[in-house]
Amino acid sequence: MKKLLCVAAALLMLTGCEAYPKRFSATYTDVFDTVTEFTAYCGAEEEFEALSEAVHGELKRLHEIFDIYNSYEGLDNAKTLNDAAGNSVALPEELVGLIDSGIKWHTLSGGRLNIAFGSVLSEWHRCREEGVLPDPELLKELAEHCDISLVETDSNSAALGDPAMSLDFGAMAKGYAAQKAAELAESLGGKSFALSVGGNIVTRGEKPSGKWEIGIQDPDGGILTTVKVAGEAVVTSGDYQRYYEVGGVRYHHIIDPNTLYPASLWRSVTVIAENSDDADALSTALFLMPLDEGKALAEKFSAEALWVSPDGTVTRTEGFSDYE
């Protein structure tokens, strides 16, 4: 906390950022198991360094809280909760907020996005590391322990009612953290910046030359299209981002809770929304949903979306092209 206050004080003393004359960029590789890039326009390098340090610190803090694989001294985090399944655990408010958001998105997605799907996802993760396919019968057994109605929260704690249950925040954590870090940067005086946490992109303001230009990847390689945003978040879920092959067949990381195997409706789904946490969850939910249901859900959030089907057909919501 003292370090963050010092950073805040440094930012308040520096006023050159208002003109955005120079572009600065930093890359972090120690948060959320991905590459994070922070780009901002400031009047001097020391201003950017103070802002970047604050953003990096916030992302590291949230990474540790949401981490389901590692423990940290003095911190009760997502791993603590999973390890204590069947018991109530006092947790940081950010983790309780993420869990509550996951419960909300389970309802909104018709059960397709399920943070309580950890047991099944963990088995797929293990098999991906070993280059083998999971046992279908084992997947069915694990799926018996994914009832999100058994997850309970209050303002500062949570409990998993099934001792064999575990939570997984892969569909939400990066977007949630990117949103929080962007809000912090904005509160400290950042007015023109883009933050990409593994492709979960949040923007604020414009560049001196205009809006931020974000390339949307074609699942088969290259750039499919480019969108221009100023203040919006852009997130893509795709079958080309994390996958492995067995017997010449590609198996990606987005698992359909109905089949317990990688979803096959779409190659990729890109969402443009006001908030990064909504855009992240929405892109995964839409990847698992038929087109008509996905369009209806996107409309609830005033979001725009682009779908790429297995045959390469591209479908857009009515307002998506306004950003191209």
For residue 293, give the 3-state DSSP assignment: helix
Could you give the domains of the chain?
Answer: 2-64+175-323 (3.10.520.10), 89-160 (1.10.3980.10)
Identify which of 184, 264, 95 has the alpha carbon closest to the alpha carbon of residue 103.
95
In order along its 324 residues, the chain shows pLDDT tens digits of: 434 434 443 444 444 445 547 999 999 999 999 999 999 999 899 999 999 999 999 999 999 999 999 999 999 999 999 999 999 999 999 999 999 999 999 999 999 999 999 999 999 999 999 999 999 999 999 999 999 999 999 999 999 999 999 999 999 999 999 999 999 999 999 999 999 999 899 999 999 999 999 999 999 999 999 999 999 999 999 999 889 999 999 999 999 999 999 999 999 999 999 999 999 999 999 999 999 999 999 999 999 999 999 999 999 999 999 999
CA dist., res. 30 & res. 36, Å (int): 8
As a whole number of angstroms, the distance between CA 285 and CA 157 comes to 26
Model pTM score:
0.91
Quick one: 312 exposed, middle or buried, by C-beta within 10 A (0-12, 13-18, 19+)? exposed
Are 190 and 51 in contact, with CB atoms under 8 Å apart? yes
| Count of CB atoms situated within 10 Å of the CB of 91 | 24
First to last CA, the chain: 41
**Residues 116/167, Cβ–Cβ less than 8 Å:** yes
